[in-house]
Structure 1
Amino acid sequence: MPTSFNQSVIEEFRANGGKVGGPFEGGDLLLLTTTGARSGKETTTPLGYVRHGDSLLIVGSNLGSPNHPDWYHNLLAHPVVRVEAGTRSFQALAVPAEGARREELFAHAVKAAPGYGDYQARTTRSLPVVVLERAEPDGWESPREVNSLADKVMEVHSWLRGQLRQVKTEADAHFIARAAHRGPGEAPAPSLGLQIRQRCLAFCQALEFHHTSEDAHLFPKIAHYHPHLADTFARLADEHRTVARIQGELAALLAGIGITDPERFRAELARMSTELNAHLDYEEEQILPLLADVPWPPVPPVPPAPGE
């Protein structure tokens, strides 16, 4: 669809609480914002969707053309996306379905919106079916309220711990299923599966952003007021580098998703879990007490009175 048409739909959607006219009138429509796989720039695309339980499904039909749409390539590179549905806006983890699950979900989508079947008939490629899950994992250990910067940092740490647990749970389930395969035929080639890949990639990208922000902004500001903690910040910086090296190993394994050795991936994931949890424990012990009295969100400065 032309960019100008997309933009007019986006503006109408946001101005009318998710309702639009024209070809989308009366249909289920959402706005999907992805990060460019190469450009790194955000792009918003209006898309039809189908509900499936608590999740939303989107289909990479691209009107039946031979190529996947750009937004699909973007979410493979950056799995965490922004979804606007009605008046709600939230982050989601975009997970393409595979194998039998893809077939099941595509049949569900065609039943709800038969046009997807027509698009599939026009092309030889298999139309991707993407599940949009709320990005926040269940069972967070986050504070009930975030009133201080310490609470905010703890919230981020809890999110990272939760994501890492989910990656391990899904990887273990995948490998157990592979080990239990008895035929017919040979077991599938070693693969982590797109769901594990997407969640692990989202975790690694969030962790990298968090540590980069700490190194560039948070830690230097605290160190300025607490010079006696120089050794503490040196240790934290060294631990960031160690975690980053493990991230690099995981990223390399994810890049070769179809041939990744399961045991090597498990070993790297276990190493990440050990190093990261020890690092977060130490940071919480040493740094969080210093942030307990810093309000969050930050209190905006009071503008000077006229004449001051």
Structure 2
Amino acid sequence: MRSDAGVRFVQRLSSTRGFAKVAPHVIPALDRAVHRLTRGRYLLSTQLLPGVILTATGAKSGLPRRTPLACMPETDGHGWLLVGSNFGRTEHPAWTHNLLTHPNASISWKGQDIPVTARLLAGEERSAAWKALLTFWPPYAGYQARVEREIRVFRLTVTTTP
């Protein structure tokens, strides 16, 4: 069970530039290994935040790309918010380019594969989502403060088949 002090410590740690340099290389690799070993039931990073494995089509390659990501499940139970923070690094993460080019994707959520459609949020809709995201995970504010780009926020919704 996680303590409030432990969560605050991780939030402070994840807001540092050092974390931004190391985490993108370590956390996804650990998440992929744990996800594979548990046959899709767990992600290591979900001890702090809910997470998904996003499978999107590569913008340039056209090949499937799997990326472990933190997410904020929406209260309706049928959507998720994804934040292209890239740990506060200057460039947009590759998976955001993939979703912009190919919005139909899938996620592994609690061991279940779910087809989704991604939509980049803008304007008031993005502002409302960003406010909720900052309450959910305050370090996002530090990530945004470090970069000149606007951090991309996507809403994933379950794709319904006709």
Both proteins in one fold, TM over 0.5: yes
Give the equivalent residue in structure 2 for 1:19: 42
| Conserved 8 A contact 2:81-2:155 | yes
Paired with 2:86 and 2:43, the residues of 1 have a C-alpha distance of: 20
More strand by share: 2
| Conserved 8 A contact 2:42-2:111 | no
- What does the per-residue CA deviation read over 1:59-118, in whole Å, with 9 as the maximum and x for residues that have no partner? 000111221110000011111011011111111000011101101001101101111111
Pairing 1:34–2:56 present: yes
Pairing 1:6–2:28 present: yes
Give the equivalent residue in structure 2 for 1:117: 141
Q: Which residue identity is paired with 1:19?
A: Y
Paired with 2:73 and 2:46, the residues of 1 have a C-alpha distance of: 16
Give the equivalent residue in structure 1 for 2:128: 104
**Cα distance, 1:24–1:87 mapped onto 2, change above 3 Å:** closer
| Conserved 8 A contact 2:81-2:153 | yes
Q: Which residue identity is paired with 1:18?
A: R
- Please provide the CA RMSD for this pair: 1.8
Structure-1-length-normalised TM-score: 0.42
Give the equivalent residue in structure 2 for 1:53: 75
Paired with 2:152 and 2:43, the residues of 1 have a C-alpha distance of: 25
Q: Which residues in structure 2 correspond to 1:29-178 (within 5 Å)? A: 29-54=51-76, 55-136=79-160, 159=162
Give structure 2 stretches of 5+ with no counterpart: 1-23
Give the equivalent residue in structure 2 for 1:162: none
Paired with 1:26 and 1:64, the residues of 2 have a C-alpha distance of: 18
Deviates more, 1:23-32 or 1:71-80: 23-32
Q: Which residue identity is paired with 1:61?
A: S
- What does the per-residue CA deviation read over 1:203-240, in whole Å, with 9 as the maximum and x for residues that have no partner? xxxxxxxxxxxxxxxxxxxxxxxxxxxxxxxxxxxxxx
Q: Name the SS of the counterpart of 1:101 in structure 2.
A: helix
Paired with 1:20 and 1:93, the residues of 2 have a C-alpha distance of: 22
| Conserved 8 A contact 2:50-2:72 | yes
Paired with 1:111 and 1:52, the residues of 2 have a C-alpha distance of: 13
Structure-2-length-normalised TM-score: 0.76
The percent of aligned pairs where both chains have the same amino acid is 29
- What does the per-residue CA deviation read over 1:33-57, in whole Å, with 9 as the maximum and x for residues that have no partner? 1111111111111100012223100
More helix by share: 1
Q: Which residue identity is paired with 2:59?
A: A
Q: Which has the higher contact order (CA 8 A, sep 6+)?
A: 2
Structure (1 or 2) with the larger CA radius of gyration: 1
